[in-house]
């Protein structure tokens, strides 16, 4: 069954890179979850399980020819939106942000799956448009519907970080698929014009986060605390860092959410500029390899999927590091393969599986 050429074209380097970064993440979680004066935590072990589950799903993803995903793209999209509706419905009964579905021992976060589903459905739809010779007015409406549905559902949860990610991914795919540049100019102007209007739709804490971003000292013990502490952690790492397990800001719990969204600060504090540079370079290399795979792919759908997933990973990285280093406002976005958390890890491994899938079948005409 398994074609030998598939093995020949399997990109072991890419997988190795992903596993290497995941192991760095393991180390960082181990360090970040061991506080001075507290009993050890088993978070790093749980993360290891998630990596294992991720690898299984990655293999499963590889085993299906990505071209069959082209066929099932709408179905996957429909299931994903359906799950988001379930969450939305449950959320309406429950309280606060409801992002998870509990199925037996598993906790699923449908918004994670929605990212993959959106990339697949847009790649399918946009490649179809290209096949037929370009955009028409009706296409724009359909695209707005395809993008808008999951976006609004996730925004309602509320999950600003994931919504923004979806928006960035969608815009990138539209751009890649050849949407005229002037469209983005108009859209950009429209969005800017709509900012005061949109502002009213943000939750109070979201508004506060954005305000505090521009002036962290507005609330040094509240919303600004994250940014200030994160910058202290990164900055105090200096050139060589304070040593693994010796980050004072993280060990003494000054850093919030340090094993999830602010894990980069822990690495930066403990390994210094050398460590952060190596990590950023590894990430950059990963993105470069992803883009390279996309460029070598000879069909529109495959290129769009590969680029879509690669840019998704890139946006994760840029937003997360940008946020922890004080370049962007704080939105809850994990650092890919590093931050603790099963859902995002699974999404990423499935994404990597898709890229590998595309890579190994690029010369394979089925």
Partner 1 sequence: MSIHPSLPSLQLLHRRTRIVAAFLAGFFVILVARVWYLQILQGHIYKERSIRQRTRIQRVFAPRGEFLDREGRILVDTRPGFNITITREDVQDLDQTLQRLSRLTGLSPEKAKETLRRAREKGTPAFQPIRLLTNVNWKTVALLEATPMNLPGIDISPEPLRNFRYGDLFAHGFGYLGEISRTELSQPAFRNDRVGDEIGKAGLEKILQQELKGTDGFRRVEVNSRGRIIDETAGHPPVPGNRIFLTIDLDLQRTLEKAFGNQAGAGVVLNVNNGEILAMASRPTFRPDLFSGGIPRKKWNELLHDPLHPLTNKAISGQYPPGSVFKIVVAVAALEEKVISPDETITCRGYIGFGGRHYRCWKRGGHGKIGLTRALIESCDVYFYEVGERLGIDKIAEYARSLGLGSPTGILLEGERAGLIPDRSWKQRVRKEPWFPGETLSASIGQGYILVTPIQLANLTATIANGGTLYRPQLVRRIEDYEGNLLEVRSPEVLHDVPISSRTLHLITHALEGVVSGKHGTGRRARIEGIRIAGKTGTAQVVRMRQEEERKEDLPDRYRDHALFVAFAPVEKPEIALAIIVEHGGHGGSAAAPIARKVLRAYFKKSGRIIEIAGRSTPPAKEKKP
Residue 173 contacts residue 123 (beta carbons within 8 Å): yes
- Closer Cβ to partner 1, 81 or 177, answer by number: 177
**In the complex, minimum distance from the CB of residue 341 to partner 1, in angstroms, rounded to a whole number:** 22
Provide DSSP, 315-352: HHHHHHHHHHTTSS-----PPTTTSS-HHHHHHHHHHH
> Which residues bind to partner 1, rule: CB under 8 A?
35-37, 67, 70-71, 127, 130-131, 172, 175-178, 221, 231-239, 248-249, 252-254, 268, 272-273, 276-277, 280, 283-284, 287-288, 291, 294-295, 298-304, 307, 311, 314, 318, 321-322, 325-327
Q: How far is the CB of 311 from partner 1 (least distance, A)?
A: 6
Pairing of strands 101-103, 106-108: antiparallel
Q: In the numeric block, which tokens belong to residue 292?
A: 């390279």
CA distance 111 to 310: 18
Shortest CB 253 distance to partner 1, Å: 4
Contact call for residues 259 and 33 (beta carbons, < 8 A): yes
To 10 degrees, the CA torsion angle through 228, 230, 233, 235? -70
Whichever of 22 and 311 has its CB closer to partner 1, that residue is 311
User: Pick from 224, 282, 206, 220: which is nearest to 28 by CA?
Assistant: 282
**Of the two residues 69 and 113, which places its CB atom closer to partner 1 in the complex?**
69
CB of 119 to partner 1, least distance (A): 14
Q: What is the DSSP letter of 203?
A: -
| Nearest-approach distance from CB 84 to partner 1, in angstroms | 27
Closest approach of partner 1 to the CB of residue 48, in Å:
27
Report helix, strand or coil for 36. coil
């Amino acid at each position: 069954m398994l074609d030998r050429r598939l093995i020949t074209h399997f990109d072991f380097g890419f997988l190795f890179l992903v596993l290497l970064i995941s192991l760095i993440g393991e180390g960082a979680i181990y360090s970040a979850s061991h506080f001075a004066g507290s009993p050890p935590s088993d978070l790093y072990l749980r993360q290891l399980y998630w990596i294992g589950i991720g690898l299984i799903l990655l293999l499963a993803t590889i085993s299906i020819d990505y071209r069959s995903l082209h066929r099932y793209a709408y179905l996957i999209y429909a299931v994903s939106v359906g799950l988001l509706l379930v969450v939305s419905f449950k959320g309406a009964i429950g309280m606060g942000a409801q992002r998870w579905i509990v199925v037996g021992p598993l906790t699923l976060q449908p918004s994670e799956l929605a990212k993959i589903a959106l990339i697949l459905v847009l790649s399918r739809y946009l490649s179809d448009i290209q096949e037929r010779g370009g955009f028409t007015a009706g296409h724009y409406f359909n695209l707005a519907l395809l993008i808008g549905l999951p976006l609004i559902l996730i925004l309602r949860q509320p999950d600003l970080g994931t919504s923004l990610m979806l928006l960035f991914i969608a815009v990138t795919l539209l751009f890649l698929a050849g949407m005229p540049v002037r469209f983005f100019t108009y859209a950009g102007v429209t969005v800017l014009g709509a900012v005061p209007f949109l502002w009213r739709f943000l939750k109070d804490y979201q508004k506060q986060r954005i305000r505090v971003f521009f002036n962290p000292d507005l609330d040094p013990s509240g919303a600004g605390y994250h940014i200030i502490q994160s910058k202290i952690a990164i900055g105090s790492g200096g050139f060589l860092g304070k040593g693994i397990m010796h980050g004072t800001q993280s060990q003494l719990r000054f850093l919030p959410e340090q094993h999830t969204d602010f894990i980069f600060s822990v690495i930066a504090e403990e390994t210094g500029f050398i460590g952060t540079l190596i990590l950023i370079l590894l990430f950059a290399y990963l993105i470069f390899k992803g883009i390279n795979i996309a460029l070598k792919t000879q069909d529109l759908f495959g290129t769009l999927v590969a680029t879509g997933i690669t840019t998704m990973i890139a946006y994760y990285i840029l937003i997360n590091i940008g946020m922890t280093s004080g370049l962007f406002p704080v939105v809850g976005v994990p650092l890919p393969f590093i931050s603790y958390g099963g859902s995002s890890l699974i999404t990423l491994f499935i994404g990597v599986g898709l890229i590998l899938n595309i890579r190994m079948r690029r010369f394979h005409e089925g």
